[in-house]
Amino acid sequence: MPTSYYPHPIIAREGWPFIAGAFALALLVHLFAGWLWALPVWLIALFVLQFFRDPPRVIPVLAGAVLAPADGRIVAVDKVQDPFLAREALKVSVFMNVFNVHSNRSPVDGEIRDRQYFPGNFLNASLPKASLENERNALWIKTEDGRDVTCVQIAGLIAKRIVCHVKPGENLARGQRFGFIRFGSRVDVYLPLGTKVNVGIGDKVRATETILAEFR
């Protein structure tokens, strides 16, 4: 099985300024106030470092597989109205806590047909209403065989920044990294009716490596 394209060396580039700042502050406190005062700051620096880890992942080769777009826990598997494409769809939601990898990866191969950003609240991302009320960024991806997939980055309680590196007209490969959310958040995937869902509420998933669903 091939390894996904990985342009960043182990630590996500979105985290480099935060990591540098946290370790610089810890070092200054250590030098001027001593190790005891610096210890909590070193712990915070280590937390920031682990938050921005971004390991490469192995892509399953199963035809028709829909891959997890993020690490975390499944908090919703529902038949709903896709608010972005105005259709009935199956929604699978992945909630990321602050200890999960927050790199977001494409669930399918396809072309980005549209990208929509919506400002909003910063409710707990595990709540159902977060899908419609929180700050969010939605990608409409059209697969080669004509299926529509909506992948939505949703900010959480303390997440204040959604990062998305792709735009309409570009193509994404399954498992390709397209964005990041800071700090604690959620990703919703809306799939065509009839898609076979392989996960249930409470399941833990890993971005790219877990097969969320399969097209029939």
Arithmetic mean of pLDDT, 143-168: 86
Provide CB contacts within 8 A for 3, sequence distance 6+: 56, 57, 58, 59
- pLDDT-above-70 percentage for the chain: 91
93 in catalytic set: no
Let me know if domain 65-214 sits in CATH 3.30.420.10: no
- pLDDT at residue 99, rounded to an integer: 85
Of 103, 106, 131, 185, which residue is the catalytic one?
A: 185
Residue 1: pLDDT band by 50, 70, 90 thresholds?
A: very low
pLDDT digits (tens, 9 = 90+) for 10-52: 888 887 888 999 999 999 999 999 989 999 999 999 998 988 8
**Position 202 pLDDT exceeds 60:** yes
Least confident of 25-29, 46-50, 128-132, 191-195: 128-132
Compute the distance between CA of residue 211 and CA of residue 101 in angstroms, rounded to an integer.
17
pLDDT digits (tens, 9 = 90+) for 86-124: 999 999 999 988 888 888 999 999 999 999 998 877 676
Arithmetic mean of pLDDT, 195-207: 95
**Position 3 pLDDT exceeds 50:** no
Compute the distance between CA of residue 56 and CA of residue 128 in angstroms, rounded to an integer.
30
Q: What is the dihedral of CA 195, 120, 115, 49, to 10 degrees?
A: -90
